[in-house]
Amino acid sequence: MSVKDKLRIVITGATRGLGQALVLGMAELGHEIHGCGTSEANVEALQKKVPQGKFAVVDVTQEKSVASWARSVLGHGLPDLLINNAALINKPAPLWEISEKEFSLLIDVNIKGIANVIRSFVPSMIAAKKGIIVNLSSAWGRSVSGNFAPYCATKYAVEGLTKALAQELPKGMAAIPLNPGIINTDMLKTAFGDGASSYHSANTWAKSAVPFILGLNEANNGASLTVP
């Protein structure tokens, strides 16, 4: 892909943090953006910021919700770029203190959510043998930290899931697990507290992340990459 080409981009978790920063940066370049979030208020706020985009309330943990959204998006054409960004982090605590409910929610959003989106969008992309799939991983998908075992587990799963998917795609496509780096978001504040403020904001990060992601192509298939 070329940064100069007008692309149709689909992104989950579009209303906050890294997702919103990517939406704003990519929309500014004139790309066609289709995004989703779980909060109606946040979706409406993003729609006002990016009136040329198309945003919807979608629960990625619910296959029917994702499938309905996908049908609407695919009515506009196939995605050139599909970004699975929606994710949660657990409250810091030893693994044995994490409730079953909290653990399951991370699994449902961070892993099953990606699978639901892939199931709804990728068959059409495969039929056309085109499109790049980027699944947001983490440094904690390649290393670990105590008190964040559930989050680490899900991001390790994203790495494995994406690398396996990469082997299943036809020539002309790519699936890439992407570590965004360390960015000052609400999620990082959960992990680092006040220390999160020493890192770049999401909007600053997007200045390098947007062209990097838009430049990904078939040659990157299956590679574990990190935003520079």
DSSP string, 14-25: TTSHHHHHHHHH
Active site residue 151: yes
Residue 183's identity, in one-letter code, is I
What 8-state DSSP symbol labels residue 108? I
Choice among 121, 148, 151, 205 that is catalytic: 151
Residue 27, Cβ density class (10 Å: 0-12 exposed, 13-18 middle, ≥19 buried): buried
Question: From the DSSP assignment, how many helices (H) and strands (E) are in the chain?
Answer: 8, 7
105-131 burial, b at 16+ Cβ within 10 Å, e below that, comes to: ebbbbbbbbbbbbbebbbeebeeeeeb
Tell me how far apart the alpha carbons of residues 115 and 226 are, in angstroms, rounded to a whole number: 22
Q: Which residues are catalytic?
A: 151
